[in-house]
Amino acid sequence: MAEFEPKIAAFVCTWCTYAGADLAGTSRLQYASNVRVIKLPCTGRIDFHFIIKAFERGADAVLVSGCHPGDCHYTAGNYHARRRWTVFRKLLEFAGIEPDRVTFAWVSAAEGAKWASLVNEVTEKARKLGPFTRYQRLNEIAEGEAER
């Protein structure tokens, strides 16, 4: 049986993490190919709805990454994001979503190597957890393919 390949959505900021991911590319660092990056100007723009919708659309794990505190291109967007995630991740956990399915990280434009190892780490975590069958079941119920 083929190994389970998790589908991972990544919401990243343009100025730090996206640039760091580019640096991993220019350095030809190799990493797992399961991540699909959605580029946003700042982690401050990331709404919690994105995470829920990503799970609804089949993501097995979500990665959120931006500039280190103090380095935000817009000075404070990542601080606002951090405050939101502090509470939101606890809500997700309370609702029964495995904490390892959502990862938060700070990756700077100089940290190409960190991006590569972060992607590998998140992919492995998701592989171990397996497909997000709980949400898949919700999809089946919603589409009328299964009973409640």
Partner 1 sequence: MIDQLRQRARELLTTGEAACIIGYADASVPGKATPIVITRAEDADRLVFHAACCNNLAAYLTRPEIRKLGTVAMVAKPADVRAAFVLMQENQVRPDDVKFIAVDVTPAGECTLLAQRTREELLDYLVKNVPPAELADDALKDVAALEEQKDGERWHYWQQQFSRCIRCYACRQVCPLCYCSRCVADKNRPQWIETSAHGRGNLAWNITRAFHLAGRCVGCGECERACPAGIPLMKLNRKLAKDVRDSFGGHAAGYAFSGEQLFAGYSPSDPNDFFE
Partner 2 sequence: MSRIGVFICHCGENIAATVDCPRVAREAASMPGVVHSVDYEYLCSDPGQSLIKDAIREHRLSGVVVASCSPRMHETTFRRAAAEAGLNPFRCEMANIREQCSWVHADREQATRKAVDLIRMMVHKVARNESLCPIKVPVNKTALVVGGGIAGIQAALDIANAGHRVILVEREPSIGGHMAQLSETFPTLDCSQCILTPRMVEAASHPNITLHVYSEIESLTGFIGNFEVKIRNKAKSVDLGLCTGCGACTLACPLAGRIGNEFDRGLGKRGAVYIPFPQAVPHKPVIDRAKCLRFQAAQKKGIPVQDCSVCGKCADACPIAPRKAIDFSQEDVIITEKVGAVVIATGYELYTGGRPRPGDRYAGCGEYGYDDYPDVINGMQFERLASASGPTQGRILRPSDGLEPQTVVFVKCVGSRDNAKGFTYCSKVCCMYTAKHAMLYRHKVHAGRAIVFYMDVRSPGKGFDEFVRRAIEDDDACYIRGRVSKITREGGKLLVQGADTLSGEQVEVMADMVVLATAMTARHDADELARKFRAAYDKDCWLTEAHPKLRPVESATAGVFLAGACQGPKDIPDSVAQASAAAGKVLVLFSSDELQREPLVARVNRTAPPQYSTCTGCFACKAACPAGAIEVEDITDKAGNTVKSVARVNEGVCQGCGTCVAACRSGSIELCGFTDEQVFAQIDAL
Q: How far apart are CA 101 and CA 126, in angstroms?
A: 6
Q: List contacts with partner 2 (CB under 8 A).
A: 7, 9, 14, 18-19, 21-22, 24-26, 28-31, 33, 36-42, 44-48, 50, 53-54, 57-59, 71-77, 80-81, 84, 116
Interface pick for partner 1 out of 33, 58, 93, 128 (rule CB under 8 A): 93
Q: Whole-number minimum distance, CB 133 to partner 1, in Å?
A: 11
Give min distance, CB of 94 to partner 1, in A.
Answer: 5
Q: What's the min distance (Å) between Cβ of 100 and partner 2?
A: 19
Between 14 and 138, CB nearer to partner 1: 138
Helices (H), 10-76: 19-26, 48-56
- How open is the CA angle 97-102-104, to the nearest 5 degrees? 145
Distance of alpha carbon 88 from alpha carbon 120, whole angstroms: 24
Residues written for the chain: 148
Shortest spacing between CB 61 and partner 2, in angstroms: 12
Q: Render the burial of 91-129: b for 16+ CB within 10 Å, e for the rest.
A: ebeeeebeeebbbbbbbbbebbebbbebbbebbebbbeb
Cβ proximity to partner 1, 28 vs 148, nearer residue: 148
Least distance (Å) between residue 17 CB and partner 2: 11
Question: Are residues 132 and 96 in contact, defined by beta-carbon separation less than 8 angstroms?
Answer: no
> Which residues sit at the interface with partner 1, rule CB under 8 A?
47-49, 52-53, 56, 69-70, 76, 79-80, 82-99, 103-106, 118, 121, 134-135, 137-139, 141-142, 148
